[in-house]
């Protein structure tokens, strides 16, 4: 009898939670302040208020968010626009529903002792870049500079960088790809001073592409119930982002709580959150079509090796953000 009552109570409590809609978000990388807005929304109950039960899946090396969503492992993914557009051209119809990151944080960091002072010094050098979707802005820039990426005297030798800054520290590469909020600071933490480095920001060189955005599969946008969930999700996420921008230290501590690996440190995350806040500033989540066009133009102008071969159609929508943020 006691078991029956306990079971009925559990069913009753469970029943109320069942009214919440489930949504799975796949992040582009491991749990870190780069995704602070989502963790803040989760921790502060913004998703719960909207009636959403959100599961945040961390990414990592060898996890391509586009593959996860293609396999049905997530409903929404955080991905960079070049990778999403390339996936769209390969037959995976991803659509951008929101763009929290307004500016690009990608840079190429070189040791000053290599003598590189400008992009014209790249030929004949060894440059490191991550792959798994992060190589597209780099390949696009090299293509625009007219520098082949397969070595040779007038080309660059490209190294598939692991997710650390060792190639620069061990002098195996002249320059490596870094993010303003992550790897650059890892280099500084390793003891190299900013004066010993020469940094080229993609934004300053006119080759910046849009980074962290939210993407879903096109066919799911035909389902009105799913669209409703997305509207609530975007609204709560942007609330989380704006809170994180205003309270970066608190947001960093929240991210640390959710870090299951224990690999992140407080100082690194606080620094990351304040740098990321500079990238999300200026965006309320709505994709700016002008930024989109600039990204597409940059990817198309790749010369012999463009990242995409034709301008995508229907790759973004304002439907969700209009309903979420009006």
Partner 1 sequence: MSSLEESVPRDWQGAGWRRTAPLIAALAAGAVDWRLGLIVGLWLGAWWVNTVLADRGARLAVPVIFGLTLLVLWEMAVRLFEVPGVILPPPSVIGARIMASLPILWGDFVQTAIKGALSGYVMGCGAAVAVAVLIDRSAFLQKGLLPVANFAAALPIVGTAPILVMWFGFDWQSKAAVVVVMVFFPMLVNTMAGLRAGEAMQADLMRTYGATYRQTLVKLRFPAAMPFIFNGLKICTTLALIGAIVAEFFGSPTSGMGFRISTAVGQLALDMVWAEITIAALAGSAFYGAVALIGRGVTFWHPSQRR
Residues of this chain that bind partner 1 (CB under 8 A): 62, 64, 66-67, 70-71, 83, 86-87, 90-92, 131-133, 135, 149-150, 157-162, 166-167, 170, 172
In the complex, the smallest distance separating the C-beta of residue 174 from partner 1, rounded to whole angstroms, is 13
For partner 1, give the closer residue by CB, 66 or 295: 66
Local structure of 71: helix, strand or coil: coil
Report the distance separating Cα 60 and Cα 119, nearest Å.
30
- Tell me if 241 sits within 8 A of 100, measured CB to CB: yes
Helices (H), the chain: 2-17, 36-43, 46-49, 65-70, 81-89, 136-145, 166-169, 183-189, 224-246, 248-258, 266-280, 289-300, 319-325
In the complex, the smallest distance separating the C-beta of residue 19 from partner 1, rounded to whole angstroms, is 33
- Tell me if 285 sits within 8 A of 241, measured CB to CB: yes
- Tell me if 210 sits within 8 A of 124, measured CB to CB: no
For partner 1, give the closer residue by CB, 45 or 61: 61
Please name which of 257, 216, 218 lies closest in space to residue 36, comparing C-alpha atoms. Answer: 257
- Write out the DSSP string of 110-176: EEGGGT--SGGG-TT-EEEE--TTSSHHHHHHHHHHT--SS-STTS-EEEE--SSSHHHHTTS-SEE
In the complex, the smallest distance separating the C-beta of residue 316 from partner 1, rounded to whole angstroms, is 19
In the complex, the smallest distance separating the C-beta of residue 157 from partner 1, rounded to whole angstroms, is 7
Tell me the two tokens of residue 94: 């991803």
The 10 Å Cβ neighbour count of residue 230 is 27
Beta bridge partners of 215: 77, 96
- Tell me if 174 sits within 8 A of 114, measured CB to CB: yes
In the complex, the smallest distance separating the C-beta of residue 103 from partner 1, rounded to whole angstroms, is 24
For partner 1, give the closer residue by CB, 220 or 318: 220
For partner 1, give the closer residue by CB, 15 or 71: 71
Q: Which residues contact 86 (CB under 8 A, 6 or more apart)?
A: 133, 136, 307, 308
For partner 1, give the closer residue by CB, 167 or 285: 167
Burial class of residue 70, CB neighbours in 10 A (0-12, 13-18, 19+) = middle
In the complex, the smallest distance separating the C-beta of residue 68 from partner 1, rounded to whole angstroms, is 11
In the complex, the smallest distance separating the C-beta of residue 64 from partner 1, rounded to whole angstroms, is 5
Report the distance separating Cα 195 and Cα 113, nearest Å.
10
For partner 1, give the closer residue by CB, 161 or 177: 161
In the complex, the smallest distance separating the C-beta of residue 145 from partner 1, rounded to whole angstroms, is 17
In the complex, the smallest distance separating the C-beta of residue 289 from partner 1, rounded to whole angstroms, is 25
């Amino acid at each position: 009898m006691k078991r029956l009552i306990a079971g009925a109570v559990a069913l009753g409590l469970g029943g109320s939670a069942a009214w919440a809609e489930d949504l799975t978000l796949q992040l582009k990388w491991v749990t870190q302040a780069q995704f602070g807005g989502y963790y803040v929304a989760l921790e502060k109950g913004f998703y719960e208020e909207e009636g959403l039960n959100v599961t945040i899946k961390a990414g990592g090396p060898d996890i391509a968010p586009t593959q996860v969503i293609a396999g049905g492992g997530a409903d929404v993914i955080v991905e960079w626009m070049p990778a999403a557009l390339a996936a769209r051209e390969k037959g995976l119809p991803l659509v951008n529903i929101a763009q929290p990151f307004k500016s690009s944080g990608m840079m190429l960091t070189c040791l000053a002792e290599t003598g590189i002072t400008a992009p014209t010094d790249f030929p004949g050098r060894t440059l490191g870049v991550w792959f798994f979707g992060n190589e597209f802005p780099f390949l696009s820039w090299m293509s625009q500079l007219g520098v082949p990426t397969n070595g040779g005297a007038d080309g660059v030798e490209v190294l598939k960088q692991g997710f650390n800054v060792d190639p620069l520290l061990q002098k195996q590469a002249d320059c490596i790809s870094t993010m303003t909020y992550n790897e650059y600071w890892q280099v500084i933490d390793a003891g190299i001073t900013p004066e010993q480095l020469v940094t080229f920001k993609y934004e300053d060189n006119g080759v910046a592409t849009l980074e962290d955005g939210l993407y879903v599969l096109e066919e799911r946008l035909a389902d009105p119930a799913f669209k409703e969930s997305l509207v609530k999700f975007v609204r709560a996420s942007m609330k989380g982002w704006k809170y994180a921008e205003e309270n970066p230290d608190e947001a960093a501590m929240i991210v640390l709580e959710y870090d299951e690996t224990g690999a992140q440190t407080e100082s690194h995350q606080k620094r990351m959150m304040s740098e990321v806040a500079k990238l999300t500033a200026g965006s309320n989540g709505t994709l700016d079509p002008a930024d989109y066009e600039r990204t597409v133009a940059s990817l198309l102008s790749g010369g012999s090796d463009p990242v995409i071969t034709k301008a995508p159609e229907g790759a973004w929508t304002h439907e969700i953000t209009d309903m979420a943020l009006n």
